[in-house]
Amino acid sequence: TNAQGSFQLENLPEGQHTISISYLGYETLTIDIQLDKKERKELNFTLRETATDLPEVVISSVSMTGGQAGNRNLTGSGYYISPKQIQKFNYSDVNRTLRLVPGVYIQEEDGFGLRPNIGLRGAGVDRSARITLMEDGILMAPAPYAAPSAYYFPSVGRMQSLEVLKGSSQIKYGPYTTGGALNLISTQIPDHLEAKILMNALSFGGSQLHAWVGSSFDHVDFLVETFTLGSDGFKELDNNGPTGFNKEDYLVKLRVHSDEDARIYQSLTLKAGRTDELSQETYLGLTAADFEETPFRRYAGSQLDEITAQQTQMALRYNAVFSPRLQLETTLYHNDFSRNWYKLDKVTDNDGNSIGIAALVEDPASYSNAYDILAGNINTTDGNLILKANNRIYFGQGIQNTLIYSYKTAFTDQRVEWGIRLHRDQMDRFQWLDTYAMDNGIMELTNSGTPGTESNRLVTAEALSSWMQYTLKWNKWTFQPGLRLEQIALTSDNYGNADPDRTGTDLVTITNATTSWIPGAGVTYQFNKHWETFVGVHKGFAPAGPTEGTLPESSVSYELGTRAACAAWSLQSAAFYTDYSNLLGADNASAGGLGTGDLFNGGAATAYGLEWISTWNLLHQKINNWSLPITLSYTYTNAYFNSSFESDLEDWGSVVDGDKLPYIPTHQGLLQIALENSRFQFTAGTRYTSAVRAEAGQGPIADASRIDAQLITDLAASYAISSRLWVCGGVNNLTDAVYVAAMRPAGLRPGLPRSFTVGIKAYFDN
């Protein structure tokens, strides 16, 4: 086809013909037509995204929105990043992929998006712990209730599409309902034999491979997939040690099913995957002076810092269509995640004072001796460098059911959806400390700690979740009330630091149980087939920790928005207002805290703002062979505390009523321009982020806690050598801007410098 999706077939003989249209990531469409002699016919087709891997009649919870078409039926804000949009840049960094979506806040950390920090609509960004993170509709944080900090994040490079749901439309997806839900949709089983391979060479000795093959038969379908990503890293250790990473994903899907026209259609889908990661990554950043001089430096004291991680996932999904009105889906799932982030925690100076790395790099003049040890400027014989083995094991498992009943009357379309989930997850902390001396810039082990003598505790969560949503479509109106129940029991078993065998001699057990009802409602009015408006209100919720006296996060959120679309342009905008009665904080080392992971009550807060995204094709109906889409995305946010309190978090500190929340920019936007035809595609995207606070405060941002505004441009291009083979390339950070990405966990951290990508992608479609 040309860039508009148009094509011509000429000189066809009269008679019956079959036309089959396919595109990667979309359902294949096949129709039969009858041509008379010299007859000319004009046909219009619409391809549906394969947001579900089942026949159209089945509504599968793999997707929250049902794709681009389903997104227009929501009674709240929803954003669907399609396969076509993903393929423009082929990002392996979810931070860059999500920049397109308004209302999403990103705090970069390592430059590659390995452990993203994502927030939605004023919710905190640290470790993406305040959003409902899912893959194919299944909770995917390491321990979503007991320890939601996403030290594991699904590899966006193997995903087919992404969805972000906010407002009342995401009341079905919990437990985190304040900001919203992020669902990553993995590669779906194709309906006929298809295969893809993408191979990229990257800057800094990096490489990327994504390959899959799959097919569907009469009663058995399959998909086999792999994704690997690695780099030597862009930071430079004082001793020239490694600063890179390697990550490998393997995934298989197998589905058995009845005939599609069976009286009761049934299918059983098994999904199994594994991810392995080794990263020479650190929490240690730089002092302000060192960042100014050598922004990509890493101190000698971080030379042994690395994280090893492994994640396995398994899900068994059963679908049954009893009738066009009644459908059932049941999913059993189990996820395991283990990681050990071995990294510098403190430095002991020659006077015996131990200084945490966050305090040290913030004020090196006050700790000059410790700084010299950290930088390898002086030698030591004692164990002045204290490294912590942040060794933890997680699991999350459960069963979830969804029952859908749809019916019509003379004037209405109605649907009742009911879901229930039984879930259990756990975090097992079993940590220890080792000490090292510094000898001419090389660290030497002086004492090896005993596992379980630094932090030795279990946190377990058991949760019953249930929800019901009713949809009524009448004339131009859609009404959608819903109600969610979260019943959670949390238990912390702390064995202390002197009982590594867990005999229970020093066991301290703390429990906390909560029951919360979470209502929400949305209304949509359709002015015409191109334009509609929506309004919604819902209760925001996040689980409390096991600490006694900690309350669940609670808020009330409102939104008012509009959607419009036609052949040449589309837009969606929304205004939102969130009133927190209790905002939760988390004592994470990644946020500059002590690293206990405990939650605490942060009191009242307010967040409000405006979101906008629109796309125009400037060449629509002007030049048939070319398309020039321009996309503009913008977010305005004002988020501040309504209470005063003290916290141990570096980025909260001593909070005063009226202080702005840290790491939430007032303005952010993205302008993306593409030039495309059937064989060539060029895309440029420039994102802007206004200056943000690294610490809560009000008034002008102090230099010590100011992260300056950023303007970053990425380019991507591809050319079709044939219908099945493409060459592609790109540049991230075109201007090679040097910028501070974050001031946490400890010190200033740089964003990714200019980097290049070149590769090939090939498709096989039988």
Give the model's pLDDT for residue 2: 46
| Mean pLDDT (whole number) for 261-267 | 94
Answer whether residue 550 is part of any domain: yes
Sequence-distant (6+) residues with CB within 8 A of 47 are 21, 23, 26, 27, 29
| Mean pLDDT (whole number) for 267-272 | 98
Sequence-distant (6+) residues with CB within 8 A of 567 are 620
Give the model's pLDDT for residue 53: 44
Give the model's pLDDT for residue 652: 82
Give the model's pLDDT for residue 591: 59
The residue among 315, 386, 387, 306 whose CA lies nearest residue 339 is 306
CA distance 419 to 330: 10
CA distance 690 to 295: 21
CA distance 476 to 189: 36
Model confidence at 47, pLDDT cuts 50, 70, 90, reads low
Answer whether residue 339 is part of any domain: yes
**Cβ contact 26:48 at 8 Å:** yes
CA distance 293 to 303: 20
Answer whether residue 137 is part of any domain: no
Does the structure show a pLDDT above 80 at 55?
A: no
- Note the pTM of the prediction, 2 decimals: 0.92
Answer whether residue 5 is part of any domain: yes
Residue 133, exposed/middle/buried by CB under 10 A (0-12, 13-18, 19+)? Answer: buried
- CA 710, chain centre distance (Å): 21
CA distance 596 to 149: 12
Give the model's pLDDT for residue 30: 78
Calculate Rg over the CA atoms of the chain.
27
**Cβ contact 101:179 at 8 Å:** no
Q: What sections of 366-496 are H helices per DSSP?
A: 368-374
CA distance 265 to 381: 72
Does the structure show a pLDDT above 50 at 105?
A: yes
The partner residues of 49 in beta bridges, in order of sequence, read 26
DSSP 128: G
Q: Is the dihedral of CA 356, 360, 366, 368 positive or negative?
A: positive
570-609 pLDDT, tens digit each: 999 999 999 999 998 776 665 556 667 677 788 899 999 9
CA distance 30 to 39: 21
**What is the signed CA dihedral for 143, 144, 147, 148, rounded to 10 degrees?**
120
Instruction: Report the b/e string of 356-368 with b at 16+ CB within 10 A.
Output: bbbbbbbebeebe
* C-alpha to C-alpha distances, 84 to 24, 35, 103, 713, nearest whole angstrom: 8, 33, 22, 20
Answer whether residue 360 is part of any domain: yes
Q: Is the dihedral of CA 232, 238, 241, 242 positive or negative?
A: negative
**Cβ contact 580:553 at 8 Å:** yes
329-376 pLDDT, tens digit each: 999 999 999 999 999 999 999 999 999 999 999 999 999 999 999 999
Range ranked top by mean pLDDT from 30-34, 308-312, 618-622: 308-312
Model confidence at 97, pLDDT cuts 50, 70, 90, reads very high
Q: Cis omega before residue 745 (within 30°)?
A: yes
Instruction: Report the b/e string of 638-664 with b at 16+ CB within 10 A.
Output: ebbbebeeebebbbbbebeeebbbbbb
CA distance 6 to 28: 16
* C-alpha to C-alpha distances, 684 to 225, 435, 730, nearest whole angstrom: 29, 48, 10
CATH of the domain at 349: 2.40.170.20
How far apart, in Å, do the first and last CA atoms of the chain sit? 18
| Mean pLDDT (whole number) for 610-620 | 94
CA distance 353 to 499: 26
Look up residue 469 and give its two tokens: 């949503």
**Cβ contact 547:596 at 8 Å:** no
**Cβ contact 380:351 at 8 Å:** no
Mean pLDDT taken over the chain: 92
**Cβ contact 714:685 at 8 Å:** yes
The partner residues of 611 in beta bridges, in order of sequence, read 574, 635
Answer whether residue 78 is part of any domain: no
Q: How many residues does the chain have?
A: 766
Specify the number of domains making up the chain. 2
Sequence-distant (6+) residues with CB within 8 A of 5 are none
Answer whether residue 163 is part of any domain: no
Classify 100 as helix, strand or coil: coil
Give the model's pLDDT for residue 58: 43
DSSP 748: B
CA distance 725 to 712: 30
CA distance 358 to 449: 23
Q: Cis omega before residue 175 (within 30°)?
A: yes
655-712 pLDDT, tens digit each: 999 999 999 999 999 999 999 998 999 999 999 999 999 999 999 999 999 999 999 9
The residue among 343, 238, 206 whose CA lies nearest residue 753 is 206
Look up residue 711 and give its two tokens: 């303007």
Sheet holding 138-139, edge to edge: 78-81, 159-165, 181-186, 132-135, 138-139
**Cβ contact 156:162 at 8 Å:** yes
* C-alpha to C-alpha distances, 342 to 307, 391, 433, 442, 708, nearest whole angstrom: 6, 8, 9, 17, 31
CA distance 742 to 115: 13
466-496 pLDDT, tens digit each: 999 999 999 999 999 999 999 999 999 999 9
Element (H, E) at 474: strand 455-474
For 656, the domain range is 186-765
Give the model's pLDDT for residue 3: 41
Answer whether residue 30 is part of any domain: yes
| Mean pLDDT (whole number) for 92-108 | 95
Model confidence at 299, pLDDT cuts 50, 70, 90, reads very high
**β-strand 245-257 against 297-298: which pairing, if any?**
unpaired
